[in-house]
Structures are given as structure tokens and as C-alpha cells.
Amino acid sequence: MAQTLPLRSAARSTARVRHLPPVLAVVAVVALLALPAAGDGEGGAHPADAASGVVVLYCALRLVRDRRRPLTRTAAVVLGLPVLGLALAAMGAVSPGAGLTGLGRYLQVFVLVPAAVLLLVRGRDDVRLLAWSMVGLAVWQGAVGVRQYVTGTGASYQGEQVRAVGTFGPQDVMGMATVVSLGLVCAVGLALGHAPARRRVLAAGCAIALLLPLALSFSRGAWIATAVTCAAQLLLAGARRALAVGAAVVAAGVVLVGGFGVGTAMLQERVGSITQVADSPDQSVTDRYTMWAAAAGMWRERPLTGVGLKGFPEHRDSHASLALSSGSETDGAGAGYRRQPLLSPHNMYLLILAEQGLIGLLALAGSWLALLVLGLRGLRTVRRSGAGSGTDCALVACGLLVWQLTDFAYADIGGPSTVLTAVCFGLAAWWALGGGTGSGAGSEAESESGAGTEAGTGTGSGSETGAGSRSRTGFGTGAEEVPAR
């Protein structure tokens, strides 16, 4: 009898572990981004990168165990479309090593991790959990960034160490801006949904609080992408709500900048530099447009297939004008002075065009456009149904995708925060291809599995997501599965 008690206890513990939602594996990837990046500035894989690989492996093992079709035909085509251009660009790389490295990175960000997120998210509660984890990460990184500004321990900006970079260090000045922006987008989406008032107020408070660290990041691209995305979310949520929230944001901005004078002079100079292109632009703007011109020159040289993955640095000098500087200077935030080479055009679309040509750009952009169209169609269906229970998930998923597609006009992939980009594409894919009511994948999956929709014959206990949506993501309701929360 004494021996059976420990066995039963172990069995209960194993059962509890099996009943944990699979999305916690993705939440762990988000949480690991709170860890400081390597302080030597030499790059290398961040723990979140390694964890994303584990998530893909974990997802694959679950698929093998459950013996279920992983993706619908629509999802497989949309997520697998970029592989064609990537394979051609990898074969045209300057070296086999560069081709394999670039291929692995692109597959991680735009194919494998998004597919794993799509398969591991089982319902809208999982989306909300993942969105709140991104908000929490943004609040943490934002708090570190504000402290850096106040104490003068941030990255160097105009000779002062005041630029908020969070735990990412001066070599990845866009890292904290990306995390804070995505967390703010999630908070806005959650606040505009139909959750209990307490949660919506908390989300709105987090969104307003994140405006300060976003401003102190001095990241023009992140400002533009966030403004465009939040405006789109407000309009998608309804004109009346857009006016009310817009007025609150303007009031908060007036209080922060006008009342307390938060970074007034530097922020005004940074905002003014956004449109200061022809009339004495700063060196960073000159470098950006010079590299854009170099990327366009590479594309004109090889319009269909590009110069190959990881080929931009090799061909940059032969296509760039003399206006391009030798590199960007970084200092502060716990690291010494460094001069970093300019290895990308800081425009994802031009980078793809230069390295992968028209074939690669059409494949990747076509996949992203399909996700956006299907996601917006799902949002429209949810709003027309009058239920509104999934509006927050739709606004979060569509908002994250809109932010990424806007930010890609001013940035490209690179650094630890790129893992968060992959998670965003996964959430967008879940809404568009797996969980969006009325999406194209939804009707197809229903006919294949014979299961009902979220309003149909699901077996969830009080959940918005029934067996139908779980079967669409490849995980059924076997003996080891639990109903969606």
C-alpha cells in the first residue's frame, strides 16, 4: 500500500503535465526574451532562438504521437509558399555555408515557428494568454528602458547615454522598440475587445504606460508602425470607440510631453528627422537611403533570383554611392564603443528583392498578403455575427501582422527580437488559417474533419473553442487531451 501511493502521485503529476496547454511552450519563448543579450556584442544565438527550435521539435513530436494531418491544404500552401523563393536564393548564395545559414533563418522566422504556433494554439484563450505574455515582456523591457533614460545608463544618442534599449544592448537598438511596440499593439487589441471591464481597463493602462518607453527608444520606424497599426485597430473596432480612445491617447501625450517635458527637445528633433530627407538629413537617414539604392541596384542586376541569401554585404560596396558611411557607432548601456558595419538595407522588402529577386518577394509577400486578407475577413465575420467574443483575438492577430508589414518598410530581420516576429506571424496564421471564424481554412477544415465550428458541436467545457478548431490545428481530443479552456 505504501508503494502504490508514490506511484499514484507520480501518475497524477504526469497527467497534470500532459494537461497543460501546449501554448505554454510558446509563452516560454516570449519569456526568455526578458533575459539580457550577450554583452560582448559579438552576436550569437539568444536563448529564445534555441527555445524556438525546441518548440518546433515539440510540435513535431505531438503531431507524430497524435497521427493527425498537421495543416489544412490552405494553411500548407500559404505558409509553405516562401520556401520556393528561399530555395532558389539559397542555391545562388555566395557560398554553401551562407546559403544554408540564410535558409535556416528565413525558414525559422516565416515558416517553421509560425506553423508551430498555429498548431500549438488551441483556442482564443490561448491567444489571450500569449498576448498578455507579450504585454508583460513589453512592460518589463519598457521599465528597464525608462530607468536607462532616467539614470543616463542607456545607449548613446547625440552624445548622451539616454536611449532606451532594455536588455538588448546598444548593438540591437531596435530590440526594445520592437518588443514594446508589439506589446502595445497587443494591449490595444485586448482593450478594444469584449472582455470583462477590469481586463480591458488593465490592458488600456498598459498601452498608455508603454507609450513612454516607446518614445524614449527614439526609433522612428517603430513609431510609424505603431501609429499606423493602432489607428487601424481603432478603426476596425468601430468609429465611436476610435474617437474615444484617440482622444485619450492624445491627452496622455500632451501630459507626458507637454506637462512633464519628457524628452521634449530630443523627441522633437527625432520626429522632425522623419521627413528631413532632402534638406540636410542626418547621416543615419543618408545611409538608409543609400543602402536602399544599393539594394535596388542589386535587383536590377539579377531581377528574378537576386544575388543570393546573405549576399547583400558582399555586393553592397559595388552598388552603393560614396555617401554611405563606413558603419554605425554604438556605445553605452553597459558596452563599450563599437563601430558596426552596415550589413542590410534596413528595409525587408528591398532586402528580399535584392537577395531573392522577384520570385522570392512574390512568394513571401504573397504569403503575408494572404494572411492579412483572410485575417481581416475573419474579423469582419466575427463583428457581423454580433457575438463579439473573438474581437480581441482578431484585433491582436491582425494588428501584429499590420505592424510587421509596416515596420518592414524601415527594418528587416535580425537580433533576438526576430523570434517575436515569428510568433506574431504564427498568431496571425492561427486567426487567418485555423481559428478565424469565416476564414477560408475554416470551412475547408470543417468539411475534412466533420467537426463543428466554435458555435457547433465542440466538446469544450465552457470554452469558445470546440473540437472543430482543435482538429484544424492538428491536435484532436484523444485520451491525453483536455478540452480547450
**pLDDT for residue 154:** 85
Q: Which residues of 385-404 are buried (b: 16+ CB within 10 A; e: fewer)?
A: eeeebbbbbbbbbbbbbbbb
- What are the cell numbers at 444? 475547408
Tell me the mean pLDDT in the region 445-471.
Answer: 37
The crossing angle, in degrees rounded to 10, of helices 391-407 and 124-151 is 50
**pLDDT for residue 67:** 75
Band (261; pLDDT cuts 50, 70, 90): low
Task: Tell me the longest C-alpha to C-alpha distance in the chain.
Answer: 85
Q: Which helix (H) or strand (E) holds 331?
A: strand 328-332
Query: Considering Cα of 399, then 216, then 418, then 47, what sign does the dihedral take?
Result: negative
Q: How far apart are CA 437 and CA 442, in angstroms?
A: 7
Q: Which amino acid is at 265?
A: A
Q: How close are the terminal C-alpha atoms of the chain, in Å? A: 35
Q: Taking a C-beta distance cutoff of 8 angstroms, is the pair 114, 473 a contact?
A: no
Determine the Cα angle at 175 with ends 171 and 177, to 5°: 125
Tell me the mean pLDDT in the region 282-301.
Answer: 86
**pLDDT for residue 64:** 87
Band (172; pLDDT cuts 50, 70, 90): confident
Nearest to 127 by CA among 57, 34, 26: 26
Which has the minimum average pLDDT: 29-43, 63-77, 420-434? 29-43
**pLDDT for residue 461:** 37
Tell me the mean pLDDT in the region 311-318.
Answer: 86
- Check residue 254 and report its DSSP letter: I
**pLDDT for residue 94:** 85
Most confident of the ranges 92-96, 123-127, 134-138, 298-302: 134-138
- What are the cell numbers at 471? 482538429
**pLDDT for residue 89:** 92
Most confident of the ranges 143-147, 163-167, 316-320: 143-147
User: What global pTM score does this model have?
Assistant: 0.83
pLDDT value at 275 more than 90: no
Q: Taking a C-beta distance cutoff of 8 angstroms, is the pair 128, 141 a contact?
A: no
Most confident of the ranges 12-26, 379-393, 396-410: 396-410
Mean pLDDT, rounded, of the chain: 79
- What are the cell numbers at 321? 554611392
Q: How far apart are CA 99 and CA 110, in angstroms?
A: 16
pLDDT value at 175 more than 80: yes
Q: For 106-154, what is the HEC assignment?
A: HHHHHHHHHHHHHHHCCCHHHHHHHHHHHHHHHHHHHHHHHHHHHHCCC
**pLDDT for residue 376:** 93
CB-CB neighbours of 42 under 10 Å: 8
pLDDT digits (tens, 9 = 90+) for 387-405: 567 889 999 999 999 999 9
160 three-state secondary structure:
strand
Which has the minimum average pLDDT: 100-104, 264-268, 298-302? 264-268
The crossing angle, in degrees rounded to 10, of helices 47-66 and 418-429 is 30
pLDDT value at 252 more than 70: no
**pLDDT for residue 247:** 76
pLDDT value at 7 more than 80: no
pLDDT value at 409 more than 80: yes
Q: For 405-428, what is the HEC assignment?
A: HHHCCCCCCCCCCHHHHHHHHHHH
Phi/psi of residue 460, each to 5°? Answer: -70, 150
Q: What is 424-478 written as a DSSP string? A: HHHHHHIIIIII-TT-HHHHHHHHHH----TTSS---SS-S--HHHHHHTT----
